[in-house]
Structure 1
Amino acid sequence: MLSRLYKILNPPSPTESDRVDPQKRVNFGCLGAAQITPGCIVNPSRTHPSVVLYAVAARDAKRAQEFAKEHGFSKSYGGPTGYQDLIDDPEVDVVYNPLPNGLHFEWTMKALKGGKHVLLEKPATNTAAEAAQIFALAECNNLVVLEAFHYRFHPAIQRVKAILDSKELGEIKHVSAILTAPAGTAPEGDIRWSYELGGGSTMDPGCYTVNVLRYLTSSNPTAVLTAKAVPYSSRPEHKQVDKMFWATLSLEPEIIGELHSNLDEPKLFGVIPRMPKLSATIQCEKGTVEIFNFLVPSYYHYITVSPSGGRRRTEKAYTFKGTAKGEDWWTTYRYQLEAFVDKIQGRTPQTWIEPQDTIDNMKWIEAIYEKDGFGSRPTSKYIC
């Protein structure tokens, strides 16, 4: 474990044999100097020989320059036209879009119109209709868009699904998914508390719980049976911004899913930060499967299989068996980057998130918001 953690934090440099033809390199341009960018793109790119950190854009030109220098981007764009200037750069092949949720639609559409592939942070958009428009334009222009549910590319969650699909424990009956973050993760004034920018717990950690429910059951919900949410504060601007939510959904055949997320879990005794809860538990006809830390399993996880009347076992999956790519220290983001580059270069990725999957996830996030009364996040004002 220590060796794996060390390599995650200090990934080895590519060897001479890893180097690729310059014509096959992929130049990434990043919109915004977001906190997630180092973990999602910068660090994974260090061990991907085809990925080039080419450019970053930010509203503040100085911030863009500093970010580029700190993380090894060759160019920076700043000011009110910085995002569009990056998109207009003919050397940019891929646009990474980690902007606030409410800006995902506008800048992804602009990137696609500029002929760029897009790695798009989750949740893809504020509405399912916007997600559908993005993928329609991508298909029309023969471009790739991937919603960055990075955990889906790791061996751990795929191992859980393989156990369920094998029917070793019979049919799925109940799924519980929970994802919480300690208070302070999104401090006062954070974009995640802005309704206009697509904020809220259901949109942030909650979108993962909706996704993992649908992924593990290989099914879409049929109805939101119950939903409850708590606003971030009593101020009028937060009346539609949830800091936590609970929902119960029905899925076919006869499956019940219970979801919970909290973006602001209070400190214990008011002083001790709580550990995040990152688990999914699946109850089947003949036993139970639980995965602890499905979100970032590369650091540590365990899969507990408990057959009814049988011997419980614990599994871990840091790599794929057989010929699939990967190292035990590859993060979820590194696996995701491998699949994304494979896709845009015409190879078959180990796994993929199809457009309809993204659209359906947004559909059910909206359905939960409709049920709990908080309502969908606002549609983008950008006119295509």
Structure 2
Amino acid sequence: MLGAARIAPAALIKPARAVPDAMVAAVAARDPERARAFAARHSIPRVHPDYDQLLADPELDAVYIPTPNGLHARWTLAALAAGKHVLCEKPLTSNEDQAREVADAADAAGLVVMEAFHYRYHPVMARVRGLIDEGAIGAVRHVRATMCFPLPRFSDIRYRLDLAGGAMMDAGCYAVNALRLIGGEPKVSSARATLRSPGVDRAMTARLDFPDGATGELIASLWSRHLLGLSLRVTGDAGWLRVFNYLMPGMYHRLTWHSGGRTHRERVAGESTYTHQLRAFVSAVREDAPVPTSARDGVANMRVIDDIYRAAGLAPRK
């Protein structure tokens, strides 16, 4: 682990206890004292004094990178140069150009880089994709993804421009990924940002056009009148489908779909999204299994994010 991040216990430490082929063997943090306390609290056997020395550890196969957004590219590239596979928190990088550099480096090294869109690995998303592919709601005409949660602590790093912050980066990246899962690779037709400070969005809305004529809508926020929104809705020419809490379906979710005059409600069994994600990462490293949130997919996701910022009159993150 590069960093003793708040997300790490849920995202990696607890899942590793459920995945026999994974072990959290070492941690480093900017504050060595914090790293030692974190390691003691979570029974991590080794503490390195800094990130570089952790990456030089020959006994580690892979690294998890939960650093602030603006540091993802730097440390993912350093990990690849050190011969390590990478599980990197979303968004993969600060912009499309950085994502392409990461993807090229991963390909050249023959190493796995996986962007941690954990929700993609829960069985409910396979069920959603299956219903659409089998024509349960007909041809897709419109997709709407919301990713809103309240973060009124404006000193949080997610509001810092120098660390590639903003609602589009931290929340909107999920919505973009979900829209692409359903509709393919879109073009951004319009976007509107609500700013917290110059260049930093606390909320973003966007409209998109998909190659087959379907349209998309994105609502993302860290602080707006949309206090909480975690839904994905797909409208087809023969029905509709909705997932409530597509982000953390292992905690609670509801899949509802309507077709032929009938409404169906389902719960799809599964473990924590993070446990499913870690299993997929281990399979990619051990067995070269493909992953849907690869570095190359991250390039496409960052392209849309950059285009949304431009359409809203803002510069992509640096």
After superposition, what is the alpha-carbon deviation per residue over 1:16-56, rounded to whole angstroms, capped at 9, x for unaligned?
Answer: xxxxxxxxxxxxxx001111111110010011111111111
**Shift, 1:226, TM fit:** 1.3
1:354 aligns with 2:294: yes
Is the contact between residue 339 and residue 352 of structure 1 (CA under 8 Å) also seen in structure 2?
Answer: no
1:366 aligns with: 306
After superposition, what is the alpha-carbon deviation per residue over 1:187-213, rounded to whole angstroms, capped at 9, x for unaligned?
Answer: 222110111101000001100111000
Q: CA RMSD in A?
A: 1.4
2-structure distance, mates of 1:170, 1:374: 37
Over 3 Å counting, the alpha-carbon distance change for 1:145 and 1:347 in structure 2 is: closer
1:300 aligns with: 252
1:45 aligns with: 16
- Aligned pair count reads 318
State the structure with bigger RCO (CA 8 A, min sep 6), 1 or 2.
Answer: 2
The correspondence of residues 56-67 of structure 1 with structure 2, limited to 5 A, is 56-67=27-38
Is the contact between residue 178 and residue 259 of structure 1 (CA under 8 Å) also seen in structure 2?
Answer: yes
The correspondence of residues 190-205 of structure 1 with structure 2, limited to 5 A, is 190-205=156-171
1-structure distance, mates of 2:151, 2:62: 34
1:345 aligns with: 286
Q: Secondary structure at the match of 2:25?
A: strand
Is the contact between residue 191 and residue 206 of structure 2 (CA under 8 Å) also seen in structure 1?
Answer: yes
**Shift, 1:353, TM fit:** 2.3
Is the contact between residue 182 and residue 266 of structure 1 (CA under 8 Å) also seen in structure 2?
Answer: no
State the one-letter code of the partner of 2:264: R
Q: Which of the residues 181, 185, 195 maps onto 1:215?
A: 181
Is the contact between residue 305 and residue 314 of structure 1 (CA under 8 Å) also seen in structure 2?
Answer: yes
State the one-letter code of the partner of 2:201: D
**Shift, 1:151, TM fit:** 0.5
1-structure distance, mates of 2:139, 2:292: 24
Q: Which of the residues 242, 256, 267 maps onto 2:215?
A: 256
After superposition, what is the alpha-carbon deviation per residue over 1:94-141, rounded to whole angstroms, capped at 9, x for unaligned?
Answer: 110111111011111111101100001110001111111112111211
The correspondence of residues 311-350 of structure 1 with structure 2, limited to 5 A, is 311-318=262-269, 328=270, 330-346=271-287, 348=289
1:5 aligns with: none
Q: Which of the residues 81, 90, 100 maps onto 2:58?
A: 90
- Name segments (4+ residues, structure 1) moved above 6 Å: none
The correspondence of residues 218-237 of structure 1 with structure 2, limited to 5 A, is 219-221=184-186, 223-232=187-196
For structure 2, the 5+ residue unaligned runs are none
State the one-letter code of the partner of 2:57: D
**Shift, 1:266, TM fit:** 5.8
2-structure distance, mates of 1:360, 1:141: 20
1:9 aligns with: none
**Shift, 1:355, TM fit:** 3.3
The correspondence of residues 147-186 of structure 1 with structure 2, limited to 5 A, is 147-184=115-152
State the one-letter code of the partner of 1:119: L
1:4 aligns with: none
1-structure distance, mates of 2:34, 2:295: 34
Max radius of gyration: which structure? 1
After superposition, what is the alpha-carbon deviation per residue over 1:131-168, rounded to whole angstroms, capped at 9, x for unaligned?
Answer: 11112111211111101110000001111111011112
1-structure distance, mates of 2:296, 2:53: 31
State the one-letter code of the partner of 1:105: A
2-structure distance, mates of 1:339, 1:265: 35
Q: Secondary structure at the match of 2:149?
A: strand
Q: Secondary structure at the match of 2:11?
A: helix
2-structure distance, mates of 1:205, 1:344: 28
TM-score where L is the length of structure 1: 0.81
After superposition, what is the alpha-carbon deviation per residue over 1:62-107, rounded to whole angstroms, capped at 9, x for unaligned?
Answer: 10000001111111123xxx01011011111111011111101111
Is the contact between residue 102 and residue 295 of structure 2 (CA under 8 Å) also seen in structure 1?
Answer: no
Is the contact between residue 87 and residue 116 of structure 1 (CA under 8 Å) also seen in structure 2?
Answer: yes
1:279 aligns with: 231
**Shift, 1:169, TM fit:** 1.6
Q: Secondary structure at the match of 1:52?
A: coil
1:244 aligns with 2:203: yes
1-structure distance, mates of 2:292, 2:139: 24
